[in-house]
Structure 1
């Protein structure tokens, strides 16, 4: 695919000197921070290995000397960033927003339509059946090539073999970059197009690629082991047609896991298979949510940083709790109420917590450390539950002067008349600072229920749904 420029190929200024200056700044960081240098060099060694591989495939190349002075070109600075959960690793980021003479590459690129599936929709469907698995597309953006006439807009500088004593060398990427405004749209279009072009291999596998991927992470659940094995086989074959590799496989079923080559599994999946169901607490992240594979439950294991006891620090702690489905919404609401009270008192961002709020904050912070004891079943259906014959969604809403919210439950009834209810989603909000009446807040909560119901109705894959709304 070409780079989707807004008004044809732009005439950009020569920013090689600016990129060279950024590279020298990076070199100075290496000399001042030896540990950072070591980690960066380790990553770049792997990167160079990767470069050798893609050079064989023709995905990237070193720019010939006689082509370095091409007029239509752009150099992209890069730097290393630490992942907070992987302090010994560094990720190289290409800065497509780096400006030179008032412009940057991203200014000239179209973002394109939003083809990313809603995150909560993918998570909803991940809870509908007992056998669940996750997949990942290897280096998704780098699997889609850029047309030749646009590759010179993706140049970068680096020391050959990572040797700082040598002069920098000019390279150009031939694939879409992480950091370019257009890359998410291009990559997601490419994945969906592969599914459409090869759907003859399996309609369900094509739907999996189209509807159950959030960028490069795919989540899916099915009713039987045979269906899971067949779907995985077809999805892998379909992606292979477009030279995409599905890897980092995780599943809550040992037989399905055994059918996957060991090289395609995550470390967690391998460990889970070795330990079996007894005594294993293998946890994997499913779009950021912690999923205990063997017990098939969502859990909340928090690692809180020691932020200062200020409005800024308290907000950072509350915002660090990731819960897109609102499964622990009542707990998070208390923290938000404390932040709101500080806003009501018009405190500065770095003002210490007042004495009247300190006990309330310390109590809440101690309580959220107990969240690891809380688990939520991933699947809406319990074990030994039959095929759902009737599916209802019950939405409850309520309000008070301190907050309002709603919760939605999936109510399933099988052929034997057995009934089971599961929490699907919840949302809790603090009331506005401007005082309002309880009836108006009740209506706000009811509106929230209607909006959540609309999302659930669109995203869940049940054949027929009936909605029931409960409010004061």
Structure 2
């Protein structure tokens, strides 16, 4: 029992005094942020890493040759990476102090944007038994916890969500640190191997979340009060925010887009619980084509949940009877998040599910069941406002 409660209990303390590593945050002539890698030791201690990166790449190349479709997606990802200026071929002499990142891919078929993502790995040990991640500082958490953001989101009568496009890759890394982010690549196996340097913050490194979220904190120090407040509702690259006035919410949108774009951040995957909040958003920038007046029970994934803007509720999908190994991995990786979700409904156990009528679902005779947990809707004042097509712009709490 003691172990059960220790697993389910939400963390009560947060280390607000974690030392902020020096990243020399600055903005270039285009307004984009540039940072130094937050290293706790001189990278000269790393040793040699190129041979391992080459071996890993050749193994990956052989694997992709057996899967033409995956190879095509992989090559397209790398080509886009280069065409956007996020990496550049090294044609001069590589400095003696360097680090090569091995690479692999992950598949996410449910993603509406990137089905295949290339991941660059900073954790392999070099000839000196040290990795780049070993000498990186993680940095403190600069954003509010998920639970607080979701609670604030439920207070708003008019709400919207969005996601910053390729957020990590919108923050440049200083030129001298590019050589700690080298990769091996070639389009075809009959070509010579080429070396490239990654010019932006690289997802997969220990320090990656801190500099990019720190950039948002810096952006919030502006003369745009509404946008600055909305930035506090970001969880990494996802934002869920709003207000109790439709007119104010539209203004928040405009300020937020302008402020983010000034630093090269482009907000995509827009979704909202009122059509007016999407009227100025191009269809290509929306998460899905949803109308708050249609009868479809659809939703968008955000912050680990599914939000249905039409019914304006969150939905949690759980699966009974998963294979033990997969379930164990799910529990280990998602326990904290799932417990936070459950707190919103007052559910004491994270594996309880309920249907729309509030009745609990149980596994079927085969031991498998995929059900959904619907979290509470907003107050009734929003429903009235939405039914009146936004004529009642402000709701009384």
Query: Does the aligned pair in 2 maintain the 1:40–1:80 contact within 8 Å?
Result: no
Give the aligned partner of residue 152 of structure 1: 179
Q: Does 1:44 align with 2:78?
A: no
Question: 2:321 touches 2:369 (CA, 8 Å); kept in 1?
Answer: no
Give the CA deviation at 1:384: 6.2
| CA distance in structure 1 between the aligned counterparts of 2:193 and 2:319, rounded to whole angstroms | 41
User: What is the aligned partner in structure 2 of residue 96 from structure 1?
Assistant: 122
Q: How far apart are 1:316 and its partner, in Å?
A: 5.9
* SS of equivalent residue, structure 2 residue 99: coil
**Is 1:365 the counterpart of 2:381 in the alignment?**
no
Q: Is the 8 A contact 1:10 1:108 kept in 2?
A: no
> Are positions 1:14 and 2:48 aligned together?
yes
Q: 1:47 to 1:304 in 2, by over 3 A?
A: farther
Distance in 2, Cα, partners of 1:178 & 1:114: 16
Instruction: Identify if the C-alpha distance between structure 1 residues 206 and 23 changes in structure 2 by more than 3 Å, giving closer, same or farther.
Output: same
1:195 to 220, 238, 242: 220
SS at match of 1:204: helix
Shift of 1:286: 2.5
CA distance in 2, matches of 1:292, 1:143: 29
- Counterpart secondary structure, 2:155: coil
Return the match for 2:308 from 275, 288, 292. Answer: 292
Which one of 177, 182, 187 corresponds to residue 202 of structure 2?
177
1:163 correspondence with 2:188: yes
Considering fraction of residues, name the structure with more strand: 1
User: How far apart, CA to CA, are the structure 2 residues paired with 1:300 and 1:368?
Assistant: 16
> Taking CA–CA contacts closer than 8 Å with sequence separation of 6 or more, which of the two structures ends up with the larger relative contact order?
2
Deviation of 1:117 after TM superposition, in Å, equals 2.1
Residues 76, 187 of structure 1: CA spacing in aligned structure 2 closer, same or farther, 3 A cutoff? same
Cα distance in 1 between the residues matched to 2:362 and 2:328: 13
Q: What CA distance in whole angstroms lies between the structure 1 residues aligned with 2:382 and 2:56?
A: 58
> What is the match of residue 9 of structure 2?
none
The Cα RMSD (Å) is 2.9
CA shift, 1:48, in A, is 0.3
- Structure 2 residue 127 is the aligned partner of structure 1 residue 105: no
TM-score w.r.t. structure 2 length? 0.77
Asked if 2 retains the 8 angstrom alpha-carbon contact of 1:39 and 1:89, the reply is no
CA distance in structure 1 between the aligned counterparts of 2:149 and 2:378, rounded to whole angstroms: 13
How many residues are treated as equivalent by the alignment?
338
Other structure's SS at 1:26 match: helix
User: Which secondary structure state, in structure 1, belongs to the residue aligned with residue 190 of structure 2?
Assistant: coil
Contact 1:43 1:89 in 2 (8 A): no
Q: CA deviation at 1:313?
A: 6.9
SS in 1 for 2:363: helix
In structure 1, C-alpha distance between the alignment counterparts of 2:321 and 2:93, rounded to whole Å: 50
Q: Distance in 1 between matches of 2:290 and 2:371?
A: 23
2:101 to 76, 84, 91: 76
Q: For residues 143 and 246 of structure 1, what CA distance do their matches in structure 2 show? A: 12
8 Å contact from structure 2 (residues 100, 183) kept in 1: yes
Instruction: State the Cα deviation string for residues 64-110 of structure 1 (Å, max 9, x = none).
Output: 1x323x20111100011222646993211100101122111011111
SS in 1 for 2:143: coil
The 2-side partners of 1:150 and 1:125 are apart by 39
Deviation at 1:256, TM superposition (A): 1.2
Shift of 1:4: 1.2
Partner-residue secondary structure (3-state), 1:172: strand
Structure 2 distance, partners of 1:92, 1:317, is 22
Sort the Cα spacing of 1:82 and 1:294 in 2 relative to 1 into closer, same or farther, 3 A.
same
State the Cα deviation string for residues 409-450 of structure 1 (Å, max 9, x = none): xxxxx97xxxx9xxxxxxxxxxxxxxxxxxxxxxxxxxxxxx
Query: Residue 382 of structure 1: CA displacement?
Result: 4.3
Q: For each residue in 1:338-391, what CA deviation from the matched residue of structure 2 results, as whole angstroms up to 9, or x when unmatched?
A: xxxxxxxxxxxxxxxxxxxxxxxxx9423984743x5333324544679xxxxx
How far is the alpha carbon of 1:205 from its aligned partner?
Answer: 0.7
Shift of 1:323: 5.5
Structure 2: unaligned runs, 5 residues or longer: 1-34, 354-360, 386-394
- Greater radius of gyration (CA): 1
Distance 1:74 1:304 in 2: 44
Picking from 211, 216, 236, the partner of 2:257 is 236
Over 3 Å counting, the alpha-carbon distance change for 1:334 and 1:291 in structure 2 is closer
Counterpart of 1:221 in structure 2 is 242
| Distance in 1 (alpha carbons) for counterparts of 2:250 and 2:154 | 18
CA–CA distance in 1 between the matches of 2:352 and 2:250? 44
TM-score by length of 1: 0.65
Within 2, Cα distance between the matches of 1:215 and 1:92?
19
* Alpha-carbon distance change, 334 to 63 in structure 1, aligned in 2, over 3 angstroms: closer
Contact kept in structure 2, 1:40 and 1:90, CA below 8 Å: no
Q: Is the 8 A contact 2:105 2:118 kept in 1?
A: yes
